[in-house]
Structure 1
């Protein structure tokens, strides 16, 4: 079987990529349709961001087999940029939560993260974009590693030559599902996102869809700042907590995929249902890496 792929351009050129939330359950039977529809919608995507919980039971070879079967030849043609979620961890013989050994065995990831978190925390540069992957599971496991991660992130953001900055991780800064709130993660990382004008935060975990700007005190408005997105690709669903005021758009019981296109000063974002129907759409415009991007809502039915 032939696999074709494209290397990154030597100069800044327009490109697109796919962003997927949790796959986790019924991967072969129900998640596969989402990644395949994403590919048929935009087969020229240069990479796919997976925001954690790619499988349900870590250290389970059969589930990883389902994940690779579901993606099929797509995984052989389009590089994956995965973030580890809570379901990528398992309890070893000492009952210690440990990153699934399948992780490093099947993903070749940059080793530019903190020493204790290599290949679960890293960044890549592609064209005029810096993509950073964080390990938010440290909220649960190790507050020291979480702080180490924040220190590393500030250096990566401070020395970032790229115009656009996107960060992906599993646990949302602002949760969308009922009864969830990642306060420690938010208090430690949100100031860095604001200070260094991060453009887009791509998250998972809450098995819903929501999108909103990062605004003072988490309230809704149009003053600019990072755009937070939570999405889900697999069939496992939770109910949305509709009380948080930061959400401009939300959905529940809906499998989605997202196509994000970058062209110079412009970033276009489109969220699609598994059927291919457009669900959410917006544009960001950024003339300088040292200031927040301008937001335009492109939804036809607001």
Structure 2
């Protein structure tokens, strides 16, 4: 017999926006959590005179600069960014000379929390491998000073992060992933996001929570995001004119290098960072908007002109999907031949909300990985269990990568910090690159132990 609910608790539930979901739960405390922590009718993320959603993105040559985006209320037009070489003293002025000022370009965007002004500033002409202090302006105020190090010359060791889909319940459940990632990669200056940052492309509360969740990273790291299908929305849905359209929030929140493929310049780009050429592909446009051939031609040029010994491609949708009933054939048709022709080292992916790694039988690049940081968890296909190793379900993850000389190492860790997957690519010069497995310290494969989600879905492990 179920234990009666105390009157005070029952009254609170009647006033709660979660009460209906909780009433359907198998017992108190087990419910389908809302996608944001913002109750209906509450304004949590209205723009103000104080700068927020501050994020830096590498320039094409990350050794010489980065671009910065931030948001304010509509009263702020063309504010300044200030930057100086970081010093031990709180005085960031060099003698009587003030920090360099860079004026931003401003665009307005009307969203669910009101009209905001989004600002983009390009900071170029910087010195390689140098720590800079910088801040951005609002309405009679400034942000706190932040610190970011430009990329050092090729050959200098460095570490960076790769994060799979965040997408859902960012404030509630993704925040802890970011804090744990900082614990394991304290020296990282760069983080790659594999798309589906939010669930609804135009939901301003979701974007506010994404920036809150990633606030452990943004003051000291440059962000390199790939667009996912959830950064798009369906225009004219359920009509013959239905089409995917890139959300305005993506364009407003990230000032990308602007060197992308024809027709998809706002979602594809490349940059060089400390001996690695990174290329970011738009899988959604390749699959749904016929942009595969244009991206393949662009990627050919980007990789053919790579002067470095390492290359990494970031894309949302996997070339080999580990989830059942998904097959991204167009990616393998148009883009995979370019990856394999140029022996790209790593292809970092998301979308399928499980973990999986796949490489050739010879153990040479490319190595394809799929990961997920957010709480929405799918189930593996039978083919993935046969063709990928390791695989994983029901696990929030982050990845730490380190490049040191001829060795590029990779670690996938759970949100509690335990090692889940680890390997290294070792460049043997004329002998080529080889994959070295690291088994020591890894926990066993995790598979879903639930028959269905709290919402009753048998095709997922968690909502």
TM-score with structure 2 setting the length: 0.61
**CA contact 1:209–1:230 (8 Å) conserved in 2:** yes
Matched, 1:74 2:217: yes
Paired position in structure 1 for 2:347: 201
Matched, 1:166 2:312: yes
1:17 is paired with a residue whose SS is strand
**CA contact 1:197–1:292 (8 Å) conserved in 2:** no
Matched, 1:237 2:383: no
1:48 Cα shift? 0.6
Greater per-residue strand proportion? 2
Paired position in structure 1 for 2:247: 100
TM-aligned CA distance change 1:292 to 1:90, over 3 Å = farther
Could you tell me how far apart the structure 1 residues matched to 2:278 and 2:342 are?
Answer: 14
**CA contact 1:273–1:279 (8 Å) conserved in 2:** yes
Paired position in structure 1 for 2:266: 119
Matched, 1:250 2:379: no
Could you tell me how far apart the structure 2 residues matched to 1:232 and 1:62 are?
Answer: 21
List alignment gaps of at least 5 residues for structure 2: 1-143, 445-463
Greater per-residue helix proportion? 1
**CA contact 1:224–1:293 (8 Å) conserved in 2:** yes
Correspondent of 1:142 among 272, 275, 289: 289
Paired position in structure 2 for 1:130: 277
1:131 is paired with a residue whose SS is strand
Could you tell me how far apart the structure 1 residues matched to 2:432 and 2:358 are?
Answer: 15
1:115 is paired with a residue whose SS is coil
**CA contact 1:225–1:292 (8 Å) conserved in 2:** no
1:297 Cα shift? 0.4
1:292 Cα shift? 4.9
Q: Deviations over 1:68-126 (max 9, x none)?
A: 01111522321110000100001346743211111121112111112311131111101
Q: How many residues align?
A: 294
Stretch of structure 1 that moved more, 122-131 or 183-192: 183-192
List alignment gaps of at least 5 residues for structure 1: 216-220
1:178 Cα shift? 1.1
1:21 Cα shift? 0.4
1:146 Cα shift? 1.4
TM-aligned CA distance change 1:107 to 1:4, over 3 Å = same
TM-aligned CA distance change 1:296 to 1:73, over 3 Å = closer
Paired position in structure 2 for 1:84: 227
Runs of 4+ with deviation above 3 angstroms: 92-96
Matched, 1:54 2:201: no
Paired position in structure 1 for 2:135: none
1:137 is paired with a residue whose SS is helix
2:206 is paired with a residue whose SS is helix
TM-aligned CA distance change 1:19 to 1:291, over 3 Å = farther
**CA contact 2:324–2:381 (8 Å) conserved in 1:** yes
**CA contact 1:104–1:119 (8 Å) conserved in 2:** yes
Correspondent of 1:293 among 410, 413, 433: 433
Measured on the aligned residues, the alpha-carbon RMSD in Å equals: 1.7
**CA contact 2:179–2:216 (8 Å) conserved in 1:** no
